Chains A and B, each alone.
Chain A
Amino acid sequence: MPSIINSDDGQTSGSAGLKFTSGDDGVMKIQNNGVDAMTVSAAGQPTFAAPVSQPGAFMFRNKIINGNFDIWQRGTSQTISGYSSADRWRCLNVGSTKTASRQAFDLGQTDVPGNPKYYMRHVVTSVAGASNYVAMDQKIEGVETLSGKTATLSFWAKADASKNIAVEFYQDFGTGGSPSDAVSGIGAQLVALTTSWTKYTITVDIPSVAGKTLGTDGNDWVGVFFWFDAGSDYDDRAANLGQQSGTFDIAQVQLEEGSAATPFEQRPIGTEENLCYRYYYKIFPNAVTKSLTLMANASTSTRGWGDVVFPVPMRTEPTALETSGTPSHYAVARVGITTYTGTNGPVFSTLTTRYMSAIYLDVASGQSLATDQGTTIRAINAAAFLAWSAEL
């Protein structure tokens, strides 16, 4: 016989209240008015009688993409300000300098649970100045995200000595038209790091966006900022952090609805990659065969056109194509016959959509390309790449 906890309203049984029945088979039931809602087997396996409704409780509860720092399409180190290393993470600096880089956990380490492979390191050199700063943020698509909700940010962190960093939440209503002013300094607070990996949890009430006006460009967002160095112009946003140099390590960032931090959500790596591709997509040639081949056709005797279909629709129509910057890394090839090296790099085309990008590559005149001839656009150097951004 199972043990039972029954919440009874008394309408049928005649006696209301919380009722307990002690059993001896190791099974436990939770009931409403004598009807099973949940059964926990003797082995500890819970079974629910109806679909579970608990927003944000299971998959995709983490609003942060690449919170585990697994995806680094752009590169594994950056000194410039902006998007240049870990996907979805913007590493910012003005005045002060920094190197943001991918660092690997030792295999099998247990300091940070879940066997994460990488973490983000910021080595900050502070330069005094009211407007100088070093920070890292992630823009979460849609300013309505967590609007009017209690949210919890959790992350693991350490520093080269006991030092503070600051955390801030931010609502941006986008551009175009007459959007409401951004709301900054939400939940701004200091976090005291030590030299050991420690999990930090911050609970914040995200303001409601009711009554606000979105911009017309569809680029509104909610942000999570980590401040490492902040001149006095940013006292309000960075909780009076002030300026400092140092080394700051961050891993397993999670932002979720609710007032408690759950264990870091381990999404499949392929899922996380596809989430990143919505905002940035980069393709490389094989380093050995240099094969990065796009089916193309010659629109003239000196120009090949090719298409790249994105693996997932991008957030918005990309507005730029990134390449290696060296024209000779690319070529137009007549199928099976001749390869003509580019005279410029591949060029972005306005034919690009959220779903695919059209590019063209020019080659020198005097080649034996013919209009409408089937060709390919190829990489002929391992350093070649093509990339598109639809970041916020």
Chain B
Amino acid sequence: MMYKQLPKVDLGDPDEQPIYARVDDDGKIRVTCTAKNPDFLEWLAQGNTPEPADEAPE
């Protein structure tokens, strides 16, 4: 299981917080969350780092 940042969605908020997708071992994304999510924070505390967001196509 790992987390991957999703591209920003342009809510018109310059301080828009990133959203992360939890990618389970079977490749499915069952959870999307903010950086405040307790499970995400626990995963970070274990020394993990989320993958960066894919770059938007030109």
Where the two chains meet, the residues of A that have a C-beta atom closer than 8 Å to any C-beta of B are 303, 319-326, 344-351, 360
Checking B13, B24, B31, B38 against A321 with a beta-carbon cut-off of 8 angstroms, the contacting residue is B31
Q: Indicate with 1 or 0, residue by residue over B2-31, a CB within 8 angstroms of chain A CB atoms.
A: 000010010101001101010010001111
Beta-carbon contact of A349 and B19 below 8 Å: yes
Judge whether B51 is part of the interface by a CB distance below 8 angstroms: no
Q: A322-B31, A324-B30, A325-B24 in contact; A351/B36 too (CB < 8 A)?
A: no
Report chain A residues within 8 Å CB of B13: 350
Report chain A residues within 8 Å CB of B24: 325
* Interchain CA distance A323-B29 in the complex, whole Å: 8
Beta-carbon contact of B17 and A350 below 8 Å: yes
Judge whether B48 is part of the interface by a CB distance below 8 angstroms: no
Judge whether B37 is part of the interface by a CB distance below 8 angstroms: yes
* Interchain CA distance A303-B8 in the complex, whole Å: 13
Most chain A C-beta atoms within 10 Å of own C-beta, residue among B13, B17, B36 = B36
Beta-carbon contact of B11 and A321 below 8 Å: no
Beta-carbon contact of A325 and B29 below 8 Å: yes
Report chain A residues within 8 Å CB of B19: 347-350
* Size of the chain B interface, CB-CB below 8 angstroms: 21
What does DSSP make chain A's interface, helix, strand, loop or mixed?
loop
Report chain B residues within 8 Å CB of A303: 9
Beta-carbon contact of A319 and B37 below 8 Å: yes
Show 8 A/B contacts (Cβ-Cβ < 8 Å), sorted by A.
A320-B34, A321-B31, A323-B29, A325-B30, A347-B6, A348-B19, A349-B19, A350-B34
Beta-carbon contact of B34 and A347 below 8 Å: no
Other than the given A319-B36, A320-B37, A360-B9, 14 more pairs (CB < 8 A) read A319-B33, A319-B40, A320-B34, A320-B39, A321-B32, A322-B30, A322-B31, A323-B31, A325-B24, A325-B29, A345-B32, A348-B19, A348-B33, A350-B13
Report chain B residues within 8 Å CB of A351: 11
Report chain A residues within 8 Å CB of B36: 319
Distance (whole angstroms) from the CB of A140 to the closest CB of chain B: 17
Distance (whole angstroms) from the CB of B56 to the closest CB of chain A: 12
Report chain A residues within 8 Å CB of B29: 323, 325, 344-345
Distance (whole angstroms) from the CB of A358 to the closest CB of chain B: 9
Report chain B residues within 8 Å CB of A360: 9
